[in-house]
């Protein structure tokens, strides 16, 4: 396992950092967090996902523990996203059977919405851009949803979804919040917060650092709200993004929501986003200690290392978006100054989020074989 040369692309300390539980829970209310756990934990097949330890990597990095929350085991959908979209569908449908739900997606969110619709026997229309893989489309179709391909990028698919939904009176279940669209994204984020509720029951160790990967920031903000609600001590929060899609870092740097231009899509497709969702921005601009970015360079190697027990005693199936926390932690530990600045030492209990397994089976196989070379 040769990781000594792994580096971060960028590091930014958040000058406006101020973690305030009440402030965070004003944007993502405690009642929603409680309700999401109450509902989702009753779903058939619900189990806490494993909280694993990367003990081999830990020996190398000299920390106390590296915990890895393994979302490859989240229901049969293989990603944390299963929690958000499906929960929002349940709440929005209010037991009404005649509605049709719709969504635009890069993959995992749409799969969750389609699964939520299937559970409740609702009709479902999912819009995808030309960049979403056939494998991901097939998975959504297997759940009984109609998938509509749209020429262009994610934004184009969302536009089409909004137009068609207005015309046909479909209920849009989107995970991105804007000024006039808050409640449904709040529901999806509340669903994600369950990860933290589970972790609070899975270890007695106080977590000192959390590495949170971000696309539009929904996962990160949902987990930050979980921390505000369920953790006794507040860990350092480190946001990780692909260097080709660093909209959180750029927003925090300029202290305003920034739309960036993506010149080339990252292999971490679910995180290849050009603009933050509004609610996550309101939460993360204060709650994040720092932001880091990483390149795609070590993604395949990390997928292979997780699978081939290089980081842990157990073999772990982690897809492309499950790797950035591991890569960023290694990059940070390799930089003596940063390691000190952020207090990563022998007393640190680091939490990484293994947010997806082989959700795209074909891509996973390609990454695995590339990473083993």
Sole binder of ligand PLP in the list 36, 58, 72, 108 (CB under 6 A): 108
User: Is position 185 an interface residue for ligand PLP (rule: CB under 6 A)?
Assistant: no
User: Is position 218 an interface residue for ligand PLP (rule: CB under 6 A)?
Assistant: yes
Instruction: Give the list of residues 6+ apart from residue 335 with CB closer than 8 angstroms, or none.
Output: 7, 8
**CA-based max dimension of the chain:** 59
Sole binder of ligand PLP in the list 90, 296, 356, 360 (CB under 6 A): 356
Q: Shortest Cβ distance from residue 363 to ligand PLP (Å)?
A: 12
Residue of 306, 310, 329 lying closest to 63 (CA atoms): 329
Question: 104 forms bridges with which residues in the sheet?
Answer: 127
Q: Determine how many CB atoms are found less than 10 A away from the CB of residue 261.
A: 6
Sole binder of ligand PLP in the list 85, 185, 215, 318 (CB under 6 A): 215
Sole binder of ligand PLP in the list 101, 355, 363, 367 (CB under 6 A): 355
Residue 104 or 122: the one with the smaller Cβ distance to ligand PLP is 104
User: Is position 217 an interface residue for ligand PLP (rule: CB under 6 A)?
Assistant: yes
User: Is position 358 an interface residue for ligand PLP (rule: CB under 6 A)?
Assistant: no
Q: Shortest Cβ distance from residue 79 to ligand PLP (Å)?
A: 5
Residue of 262, 239, 261 lying closest to 249 (CA atoms): 239
Residue with tokens 């929060």: 237
> Among the candidate windows 29-37, 134-142, 203-211, 216-224, which touches ligand PLP by CB under 6 A?
216-224
Query: Secondary structure of 30-70 in the HEC alphabet?
Result: HHHHHHHHHHHCCCCCCCCCCEEECHHHHHHHCCCEEEEEE
Residue 174 or 348: the one with the smaller Cβ distance to ligand PLP is 174
Q: Shortest Cβ distance from residue 2 to ligand PLP (Å)?
A: 26
Sole binder of ligand PLP in the list 32, 82, 101, 106 (CB under 6 A): 106
Integer Cα distance of 187 and 92 in angstroms? 9
Q: What stretches of 130-197 adopt beta strand conformation (E)?
A: 146-150, 171-172
Question: 290 forms bridges with which residues in the sheet?
Answer: 13, 238
Q: Shortest Cβ distance from residue 5 to ligand PLP (Å)?
A: 26
In the three-class reduction of DSSP (H, G, I as helix; E, B as strand; rest coil), residue 344 is classed as coil
DSSP string, 290-317: EEEEE-STTHHHHHHHHHTTSSSSS---
Question: 350 forms bridges with which residues in the sheet?
Answer: 66, 209
> Among the candidate windows 55-63, 93-101, 207-215, 334-342, which touches ligand PLP by CB under 6 A?
207-215
User: Is position 8 an interface residue for ligand PLP (rule: CB under 6 A)?
Assistant: no
Q: Shortest Cβ distance from residue 108 to ligand PLP (Å)?
A: 4
Report CA-CA distances (Å) from 286 to 9, 14, 129, 311: 22, 8, 33, 32
Residue 316 or 355: the one with the smaller Cβ distance to ligand PLP is 355
Sole binder of ligand PLP in the list 247, 321, 333, 363 (CB under 6 A): 321
> Among the candidate windows 50-58, 217-225, 304-312, 365-373, which touches ligand PLP by CB under 6 A?
217-225
Q: Shortest Cβ distance from residue 340 to ligand PLP (Å)?
A: 29
In the three-class reduction of DSSP (H, G, I as helix; E, B as strand; rest coil), residue 275 is classed as coil
User: Is position 213 an interface residue for ligand PLP (rule: CB under 6 A)?
Assistant: yes
Residue 108 or 305: the one with the smaller Cβ distance to ligand PLP is 108
Integer Cα distance of 280 and 306 in angstroms? 29
Query: Contact at 8 Å (CB) between 294 and 43?
Result: no
CA angle 45, 47, 48 (to 5 degrees): 155
Q: Which two tokens stand for residue 115?
A: 């699964």
Residue 83 or 344: the one with the smaller Cβ distance to ligand PLP is 83
| Residues touching ligand PLP, count (CB under 6 A) | 19
> Among the candidate windows 6-14, 38-46, 208-216, 225-233, which touches ligand PLP by CB under 6 A?
208-216
Question: 352 forms bridges with which residues in the sheet?
Answer: 68, 211
Sole binder of ligand PLP in the list 3, 79, 293, 312 (CB under 6 A): 79
User: Is position 109 an interface residue for ligand PLP (rule: CB under 6 A)?
Assistant: yes
Kindly list the residues in this chain that would bind ligand PLP in the complex (CB under 6 A). 79, 81, 106, 108-109, 213-220, 270-271, 273, 321, 355-356
């Amino acid at each position: 396992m040769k990781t000594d040369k792994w580096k971060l692309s960028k590091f930014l300390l958040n000058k406006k950092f101020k973690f305030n539980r009440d402030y965070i829970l004003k944007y993502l209310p405690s009642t929603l967090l409680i309700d999401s756990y109450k509902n989702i934990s009753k779903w058939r097949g619900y189990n806490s996902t494993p909280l694993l330890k990367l003990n081999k990597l830990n020996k190398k990095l000299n920390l106390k523990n590296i915990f890895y929350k393994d979302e490859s085991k989240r229901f049969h959908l293989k990603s944390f996203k299963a929690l958000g979209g499906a929960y929002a569908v349940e709440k929005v449908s209010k037991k009404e059977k005649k509605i049709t739900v719709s969504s635009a997606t890069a993959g995992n969110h749409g799969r969750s919405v389609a699964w939520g619709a299937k559970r409740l026997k609702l009709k479902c229309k999912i819009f995808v851009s030309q960049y979403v893989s056939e494998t991901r489309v097939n998975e959504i179709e297997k759940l009984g949803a109609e998938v509509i391909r749209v020429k262009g990028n994610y934004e184009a698919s969302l536009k089409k979804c909004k137009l068609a939904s207005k015309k046909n009176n479909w209920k849009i279940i989107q995970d991105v919040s804007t000024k006039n669209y808050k409640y449904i994204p709040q529901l999806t984020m509340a669903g994600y917060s369950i990860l933290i509720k589970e972790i609070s029951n899975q270890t007695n160790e106080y977590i000192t650092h959390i590495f949170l990967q971000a696309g539009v920031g929904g996962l990160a903000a949902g987990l930050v709200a979980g921390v505000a609600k369920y953790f006794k001590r507040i860990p350092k929060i480190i946001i990780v993004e692909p260097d080709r899609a660093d909209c959180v870092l750029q927003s925090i740097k300029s202290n305003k929501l920034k739309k960036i231009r993506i010149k080339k899509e990252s292999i971490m497709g679910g995180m290849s986003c050009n603009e933050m969702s509004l609610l996550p921005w309101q939460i993360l601009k204060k709650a994040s200690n720092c932001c880091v970015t990483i390149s795609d360079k070590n993604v395949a190697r990390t997928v292979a290392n997780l699978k081939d027990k290089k980081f842990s005693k157990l073999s772990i199936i982690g897809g492309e978006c499950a790797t950035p926390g591991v890569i960023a932690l290694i990059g940070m530990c390799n930089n003596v100054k940063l390691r000190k600045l952020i207090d990563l030492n022998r007393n640190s209990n680091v939490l990484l989020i293994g947010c997806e397994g082989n959700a795209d089976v074909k891509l996973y196989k390609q990454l695995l074989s590339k990473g083993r070379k």
